[in-house]
Structure 1
Amino acid sequence: MCPFCGHKHIIKYGKDKHFNQRYLCKECHKTFSAITNTLLAYTKKEPYQWYLYIDSLFHGDTLKQSAMIAGISEYTSLVWRHKILSICASLTDESPILHDTVYLDEKLIDVSQPGTEKKNNVPKKRGISDQKRNIACAVDDHGQKIIQVSERGRIHSKELIRIYKDKIPSSCTVVSDSLRSYHKFMKELKVNWVKLPSGKTEKDGYTLQKINLIHSSIELFLHSYRGISDKYIRNYIGLYKIKDKYSAKYHIKSIFYMIFKRIINNICELKYENFSSEFSFTMI
C-alpha cells in the first residue's frame, strides 16, 4: 500500500543505495520503500543505535544518559525521544471494550506551557483548574484499561461520552464518584451506575481502589519527567501504556525486540523541521 495516497496499485521500482526495494505508486506516481516515513528513513545513524536508544528510554534514562548510550548528541536525543513517544501514542490510541464491572475516575496532573507561563506571569492554581490536564481512566474486572488524555480542568459529560461511548456496553455496572458530569454520561450509556456518595470511599462493597492504583502508577511514572509540556503529555502517556501493557516483561529480550520492531516500523509523522528553537529542551 502506498504510504502517500493509500492505493494498492504499486510496482517494484529498483533499489536504493542501501539495497532496499523501492516501489512506484501507479496512482500518485510517488516512489517509496519499506522504511519510508519510519524512524529509519533519512537517518544517518545505524539501526542498532535506535535499538540502544529505545531500550534506554524504556529504562527511564535521562536525555543525557540515552545520548551517551546511543552515541548521539543531546539535541538529537531530545528529537529522538519525542519522535519515539509520538509513535507510542499512535500505537496505543485504540481502546479496548470493557466488560462486567467497570471502575472509572479521572487523574488531574500538572502540565507546563513553556513560554506562556513565564511571559504572562501566571500564578499556579490549586485544585481543579485549566492549568491541569485530565487523564480519563477506566478498568474492568478483567484488567482491561482505557487511559486517555482528556480536556483541561473539570471534565464534562460530552467529553466522557466521546471517550467511553461504544467502549462500555449497557450490560456493565459502572462504579464512580458522584461528579456532576457523570449524571448525563450514565444516562447516555444506560448502565447500572454505582455512585459513591461524596466523601465516601465505599458503597455496597464497591470501591475505587483499582482505579486509584492506576492513578498512583501514572503519577509515579510522570514524576521522573520534570515539567512535561501540555503539548506532549499524550505522547508520554503512550509510553506509559506500552510499559503498563507488558508490565515488567518488556525487560525480556524477545518481548522488547517485538516492541522495538513495532516502533521502528511504524509511521512517524514528526520530522526534524518540527523541532524549532521554541521547543522546550530540558535535560531529563
Structure 2
Amino acid sequence: MSYYADSPLNTLKHRFHLLPEYEKMSFVRFAKITLAKPSPKTVTTCPHCQSDHFVKNGFKYCADDSGTKTQRYLCRGCGKSFVENSGTILYGSKRDLSTWKEYIHCLIKKESLRDAAAICGISLATSFAWRHKILDTLQYMMEDITLDGVVQADETFFNISRKGAHRACFPEDDKDYGDPLKVYEETDEDLAKQQAERAILKAAQQETQRKRGISDQKVAVVCAVSLNRSIAKAANTGRTSYQQLKSVLDGKIKPNSILVSDSAAIYKKFAKENNLEHHAIPRGKHKQDGYHLAYLGSYHAKLKNMIENRFKCVATKYLNNYLAYHNFIASGAKTNAEKETLLLDFIRNTPCVSKVRDFAKRPAFPFPMEDDPEILKKEQEIKAKAAEKRKHTIAVRKEWKERAKKYTSS
C-alpha cells in the first residue's frame, strides 16, 4: 500500500507541492477566505434605546442549513429583542457571516455580479442587492476622508445612463406578458412594427450621445487626489459652477494645502476662500512651476476603465456608489486583505441606509436638479414618452388577448 494512501493529509501536501506557484497562491487565498471565521462582534448597548442593561436570550439560527447560530439578547430597558447585527445590512440575511466575507472578497477583486453570485452560491438579484447595500454604506466611510499636501483637482465626464429604468414603460397590471399563444398569431406586419419600434428606441438611446464635448448630456464628476487618497462625486450635468464645486470639495481639503488645477476660474475662487495655495496649469501645457496633473490623469483613466469597461457603464443613479467603491479600492495604503477586514468591520457596525425595495425608486440623477430647468424639461418629456408607450403596450396586449381567445375558441 502506498504511503500517501494511508495519510490523506500527506497526499494533499504532495499534490500541493506539484502545483504551479500561481495556483498555490490562489489556493492559499481561497483557504484563508473559506476557513477563517470572523470573530463575534462585541455588543455593548441596545441598538433600540442605547441601554447597557441587557441579558442573553437564546440563539438565532441561520436559515441556510449551515447550523450557524447568533446570540440573541433581551434589553431590560425597552424590552426589545436584538442580535449583534440588528440595524445593519447583515440583519435578516439568510446567509451566515462567512458568506458575506467571501462576497466582500469578490467585491475587492472587482468580480462581476454573476461571478460573485456563482462563487458565493447566491442568486444574481441577491448579488446586486448586496453590492449596493455595501456601497451605500461605504459612502459614509468616504465622507470622512480629507486631503492635504499637494491636491490635484479637475472634472471628468460620463454619458448619462438610464440602465434599469425601462421597466417603468411597461404596465404592472398585465400579468399575461409572454403568453406563448401570441406567437402563433404574429404576422409579417406585426414583426415589421416591432422592428420599427426597436429602431426608434435605439435612436432615442443614441440621442444622448450625439453632442460632442461638454454638454448637458454628460454627467460631471468632480475629482480630487492626493497621496493615497481621493475624492470623487457626481456634481451636475454640463459645465460645473462654483456652487456645485463647493458642494463636493467644501471641507474636504485642509487649509494651507496646495491646490493644482486647470485654469478654470472656479478653482481660483475656491482656493482663495479656503486658504489654499493655488497653481493653475495653463491651457495647452502639461506643467507649470514644477506642478502637473499627471496623477489626476492616471486616476481618471483607471476610473473610466472600471466604469466603462469592467462594469460596462453603470446607471447614473448608482454612479456615486461606484465612485466611492473605486476610491476605497484605489487607496494604496492598505493591502487587499486589510481592506476586506476594514470593510467587513465597517458594515457590521454601521446602520443600514438602504432597502432593496427602494432601489427602483431612486431618482435618475444622484444630485439635485432644481437649478437646471432644461434637465427637468427633458425628464418630463421622457416620462411623457414612457406614458404613451405604456398606453400603446396596453392596447397591443389587449388586442393579443382577444386574438388569443379567438384562436383558442376556434
Shorter-chain-normalised TM-score: which range? 0.7 to 0.9
The 5 Å alignment of 1:220-259 reads 220-222=305-307, 223-246=309-332, 249-250=335-336, 252=337, 256-259=340-343
Q: C-alpha displacement at 1:73, in angstroms?
A: 1.5
Superposition CA RMSD, Å: 3.1
The question of whether the paired residues in 2 share the 8 Å contact of 1:132 and 1:152 is answered with yes
The 5 Å alignment of 1:193-272 reads 193-222=278-307, 223-246=309-332, 249-250=335-336, 252=337, 256-272=340-356
* CA distance 1:66–1:277, change in 2 (3 Å): farther
The question of whether the paired residues in 1 share the 8 Å contact of 2:54 and 2:77 is answered with no
Overall identity of the aligned pairs, in %: 27
* CA distance 1:156–1:2, change in 2 (3 Å): farther
**More helix as a share of residues:** 2
Residues matched between the structures, number: 273
What is the alpha-carbon distance in structure 2 between the residues aligned to residue 81 and residue 143 of structure 1?
24
Q: Scaled by the length of structure 2, what TM-score is found? A: 0.59
What is the alpha-carbon distance in structure 2 between the residues aligned to residue 93 and residue 249 of structure 1?
21
The question of whether the paired residues in 2 share the 8 Å contact of 1:97 and 1:166 is answered with no
Which of residues 88, 106, 115 is equivalent to 1:65? Answer: 115
Asked if 1:22 is matched to 2:105, the reply is no
The question of whether the paired residues in 2 share the 8 Å contact of 1:25 and 1:31 is answered with no
SS at match of 1:121: helix
* CA distance 1:25–1:235, change in 2 (3 Å): farther
The 5 Å alignment of 1:183-202 reads 183-202=268-287
* CA distance 1:17–1:107, change in 2 (3 Å): same
The 5 Å alignment of 1:119-158 reads 121=204, 123=207, 124=209, 125-140=211-226, 142-158=227-243
SS at match of 2:319: helix
Q: C-alpha displacement at 1:233, in angstroms?
A: 0.9
What is the alpha-carbon distance in structure 2 between the residues aligned to residue 274 and residue 161 of structure 1?
29
* CA distance 1:36–1:120, change in 2 (3 Å): farther
Asked if 1:165 is matched to 2:250, the reply is yes
Greater length-normalized contact order (CA 8 Å, ≥ 6 residues apart): 1
The question of whether the paired residues in 1 share the 8 Å contact of 2:54 and 2:76 is answered with no
Asked if 1:32 is matched to 2:82, the reply is yes
What is the alpha-carbon distance in structure 1 between the residues aligned to residue 287 and residue 60 of structure 2?
65
What is the alpha-carbon distance in structure 2 between the residues aligned to residue 129 and residue 167 of structure 1?
27
SS at match of 1:138: strand
Q: C-alpha displacement at 1:246, in angstroms?
A: 4.5
- Give structure 1 regions of 4+ aligned residues with deviation exceeding 6 angstroms: 277-280
Q: C-alpha displacement at 1:84, in angstroms?
A: 1.9
Counterpart of 1:195, as a letter, is A
The question of whether the paired residues in 2 share the 8 Å contact of 1:90 and 1:238 is answered with no
Larger CA Rg, structure 1 vs 2: 2
Q: C-alpha displacement at 1:35, in angstroms?
A: 0.4
What is the alpha-carbon distance in structure 1 between the residues aligned to residue 54 and residue 104 of structure 2?
32
**More strand as a share of residues:** 1
The question of whether the paired residues in 1 share the 8 Å contact of 2:51 and 2:77 is answered with yes
Q: Scaled by the length of structure 1, what TM-score is found? A: 0.82
What is the alpha-carbon distance in structure 2 between the residues aligned to residue 84 and residue 232 of structure 1?
12
Runs of 5+ unmatched residues, structure 1: none
Counterpart of 2:204, as a letter, is N
